[in-house]
Amino acid sequence: MSVQGQPNFLLVVVDDMGYSDCQPFGGEIHTPNLQQLADNGACFRHFHTSALCAPTRAMLLSGCDNHHAGLGNMPTAHSTNQYMQPGYEGYLNNDVLTIPEILKDAGYHTYMAGKWHLGELEGKRPHSRGFERTFSFLGGGASHFNDQRALSEFEKPHTEYSEDGKTVEDLPEDFYSSDYYTDKMIQYITKQEDGNPFFAYLAFTSPHDPLHVPDAWLDKYKGTYDKGYDAIREQRLQRMKELGLVPNNLTPNEGSGEFKKWDDLTERERMEESRKMEIYAAMIENLDWNLGRLFSKLKDLNKFDDTIIFFMSDNGANPKEPHFYAPNTRESVAREYDNRLENYGKINSFISIGGAWAEVVNTPLAYFKLTTYEGGTQTPLIVSGRRMHKRGVVTNEMLHVTDIMPTILDYANVRYPSEKGMKPLYGTTLKPFLQQETKQPIRNAFDVLGYEIAECKAVMKGEWKLIFMPPPYGEGDEWHLYNLKEDIKEENNVAAQFPVKFNELKADWEAYALSVGYIKANGARAVEKLGYEEFYRFDPKHRIDSDTGIGEVEGTTKEPTELGD
């Protein structure tokens, strides 16, 4: 036990993992260490994040809404009237405090290894936001090997590694992201010389595309996915029923209809789709193996039993293909990468699971990352450790990513500082529930959770959800109302049947939007006016009046504007 009796905390975040991928949530992917966590903790079915990763990470580390924390929109999706406005800075701003900042002041050691994605400029890196030791990838995604290859030309400004605030120019020859992040975390914890507690943030970039895995892992799942989308979907749903995650009468989610069915694919396309999923599954087993290495080291150091562990994904599975990342095109990807089937998963390949598999791995939820449907914002959450009491599967509690900070502070017996000018916490502590100190629900039928990113909007209240989706995954002209208790898959829009409830939730969303400073996009993209290089400087001189959208914006370079990661 730590000297002060305070627990250690290990916060593990994986990148773009599907809802039903790991064993505790019904997956066929071998994840024995996550299963160990689940067996000694609680699995939550109604845990919600943002639909995109940087806003989720901002909320996770600050406990505040993304519009308060600086990620009101996802770089580079800002409109000209949002760019550099308060709450839309594009990095974790100084209006919020972070978990490591608060815990460090309370005597904790604070360590980070992995993906940051909350600012790459001087003073915005994790070493400046409370972490004592850091090895971080500053951007959204990149090669998992040592070539540091960006997702696209326009992703280069933040495709960079940093250790303790200093840029890392060269990575080791045998670098693989999940292995190296785990090595660093083991190093930081092992070198700690005193008995003070620690907060460790391990943020894997896996299984974010490009799908890469070390050679020894390439054929771990050979043949597993040859029967196609429906077979895997049905197998996972059956296991979820056996685990008590979903009702026994739930039928498979047939998907959005946006993608080809397995039977409509050519033999070559089926081979390619199976192989992509094999690599993706191997990435997830690999990160689980790395967690096992870390758990073993914590046990060797007699720290495991005093550590409360949180495991989550930052959003739903990723439907994007390599050509999604501007200015990539199908032709440029084919020309610049070796995407022969035999090179899948290796250096100089760039493959993704794509939309059809993204819907499958999010079974039974609707859609995927980028959307505020459940497949975009509902992710696995496991909380585990001998210091917390709750065990089993929890399906009737609505949780939010901003709950993690107040929960950690509560367990550490550290008060949230009441500093003037700081934004209010959006989340609530889970400790009374996890310690089984109360029979009260975490949120009641009157509590509201609001969401918005890139004009994808939602509000949840009790069993009800109101959602607005712009194209391409919505019409962009109406709100839909769903009863999630009766309609997990969000298939039946009941807005016409329940006009009073519709209006109630619409008013709730408008109150939320006002409270967090939401700025409706004016349709003019800031990056088109500034260019990508200037955009990533995040210079306040480019700020435009948020009400009128009128102002001077320097730069005239026009470039593609697809949302990156």
Count of CB atoms situated within 10 Å of the CB of 310: 22
∠ CA 384-389-392, nearest 5°, is 65
* Selection from 561, 425, 529 nearest residue 81 by Cα: 529
Angstrom CA distances, 429 to 35, 402, 433, 449, stand at 25, 9, 9, 15
Strand partners, 482: 465
| Euclidean distance between CA atoms 119 and 117, whole angstroms | 6
Q: Is 22 tagged catalytic?
A: no
| Euclidean distance between CA atoms 74 and 535, whole angstroms | 12
Q: Which two tokens stand for residue 428?
A: 């609530």
In this structure, is the dihedral angle defined by the CA atoms of residues 60, 61, 65 and 71, taken in order, positive or negative?
negative
- Out of 53, 64, 158, 212, pick the active-site residue: 53
Q: Edge to edge, what strands does the sheet with 479-483 contain?
A: 448-453, 456-461, 464-468, 479-483
Kindly report the backbone phi and psi dihedral angles of residue 10, in degrees, each rounded to the nearest multiple of 5, phi listed first: -120, 115
Strand partners, 167: 162
Angstrom CA distances, 460 to 54, 183, 483, 516, stand at 21, 40, 10, 16
Q: Is 212 tagged catalytic?
A: no
- Out of 68, 117, 480, 542, pick the active-site residue: 117
Whether 93 contacts 129, CB under 8 Å: no
The helix (run of H) or strand (run of E) holding residue 42 is: strand 41-44
* Selection from 527, 44, 34 nearest residue 295 by Cα: 34
Kindly report the backbone phi and psi dihedral angles of residue 468, in degrees, each rounded to the nearest multiple of 5, phi listed first: -130, 125
Whether 89 contacts 518, CB under 8 Å: no
Q: Just list the catalytic residues.
A: 53, 117
